[in-house]
Structure formats: structure tokens, C-alpha cells
């Protein structure tokens, strides 16, 4: 250490040889952490931009069950729902919603299409006019604050759709 001119002793001193400090080296774990982050981001982009799965055409879905057994099971469920609503075991609005779902579920099982998630317009575009009309007849009772018609009316509409299905 040396004394600076004009500065009292012990106040400020500077080293004679400040020395050379080499740059610090990165630790290897930072390299691997960065590489892992790049790989994760790349995999995420690959997942986002992957090509969509192709769905089979309308007639080539999963194997269809026997239409008569489907029809029989659905009609039994429709009758049970109407009886439960008449007996007061389920609320009227829930009965209307269940009837609509039963008809959609029947059509979905008969065609192999995701009918339960289609809108009325989607059903019409797929060529299911009678199904769309039957469900549209149940809608006012299903979504109204107070149903406009008794459950028997919606049950009959549901039965007509199932019976008339080819």
C-alpha cells in the first residue's frame, strides 16, 4: 500500500497491484438447466401445433349396437324418467333435461357421432332433422324457469324420435 499525496495517513490507500481477475466460469448445471428449458419449450410448441387426429367418416365409427336393443333400452329409460317425475322423485325440470339427454344419447349410440355435444344447427347440418325437431320440442320445458308443458308431453316427443329412428 502506498500513501497518496495530500491525503493524511490512514485515510485512503490504494493497492499497488490491483491484479487481474479472470472472468467467472459458469457451473455445468446452468448449461443443463438451460438446455432442459429449451427442450421443454420446444416440446410444448410441438404439442400445441401437432396435427389434429382424423375422425372416421360418419358411417365408419365404432361398431354399432343392435338398433332394436338400443331403442328398447332408451324407451325404458324414457318411461322410467316420466314415472319418476310423475311420482315426484325427481324435479320436473331435471326430468325434461334427462329426456333430452336420453334422446341424444340414443342417437349417439346409433350413429357413433358425438350427438350429445351438438347444437340443433349441428344436428340439422348432419341431416338429423327429426332428432333436431324432437329436441327443439323439449327445449322450452328444459330451459324455462317454469316448464310450459308436463313431463308427459316431453316424454311423448322423446318416444316419437326414438320410435321413428331408422
Separation of alpha carbons 146 and 150, rounded Å: 10
Query: Model confidence over 124-160: pLDDT tens digits?
Result: 998 999 999 989 888 888 777 777 888 888 899 999 9
Distance between CA atoms of residues 90 and 75, nearest Å: 18
C-alpha triplet 132, 133, 137: angle, nearest 5°: 115
What DSSP string describes 104-137? Answer: HHHHHHHH-S-GGG--HHHHHHTT-HHHHHHHHH
Taking only the tens place, the pLDDT of each residue in 71-104 is 999 999 999 999 999 998 999 888 989 999 999 9
Long-range CB contacts (within 8 A, 24+) of 119-127? 126/58
> CA 92 to CA 95: how far, in whole Å?
5
| Three-class DSSP category at 94 | helix
53-59 mean pLDDT: 60
Q: Which of 2-11, 38-47, 102-111 shows the lowest mean pLDDT across its residues? A: 2-11
Report the C-alpha gap between 125 and 26 in whole angstroms. Answer: 62
Does residue 11 have a pLDDT over 90?
Answer: no
Whole-prediction pTM value? 0.60
Domain range annotation of the chain: 65-164
Q: Which pLDDT value is given to residue 58?
A: 54
Amino acid at each position: 500500500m502506498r500513501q497518496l499525496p495530500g491525503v493524511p495517513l490512514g485515510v485512503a490507500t490504494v493497492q499497488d497491484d490491483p491484479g487481474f481477475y479472470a472472468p467467472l466460469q459458469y457451473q455445468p448445471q446452468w448449461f443443463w438447466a438451460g438446455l432442459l428449458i429449451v427442450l421443454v419449450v420446444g416440446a410444448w410448441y410441438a404439442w400445441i401445433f401437432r396435427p389434429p387426429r382424423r375422425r372416421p367418416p360418419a358411417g365408419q365409427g365404432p361398431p354399432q349396437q343392435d338398433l332394436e336393443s338400443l331403442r328398447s333400452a332408451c324407451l325404458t329409460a324414457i318411461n322410467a324418467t316420466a314415472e319418476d317425475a310423475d311420482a315426484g322423485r325427481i324435479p320436473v325440470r331435471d326430468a325434461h333435461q334427462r329426456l333430452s339427454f336420453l334422446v341424444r344419447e340414443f342417437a349417439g349410440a346409433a350413429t357413433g357421432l358425438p350427438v350429445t355435444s351438438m347444437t340443433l344447427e349441428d344436428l340439422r347440418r348432419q341431416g338429423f332433422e327429426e332428432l333436431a325437431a324432437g329436441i327443439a320440442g323439449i327445449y322450452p320445458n328444459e330451459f324455462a324457469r317454469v316448464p310450459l308443458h308436463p313431463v308427459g308431453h316431453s316424454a311423448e316427443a322423446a318416444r316419437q324420435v326414438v320410435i321413428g329412428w331408422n
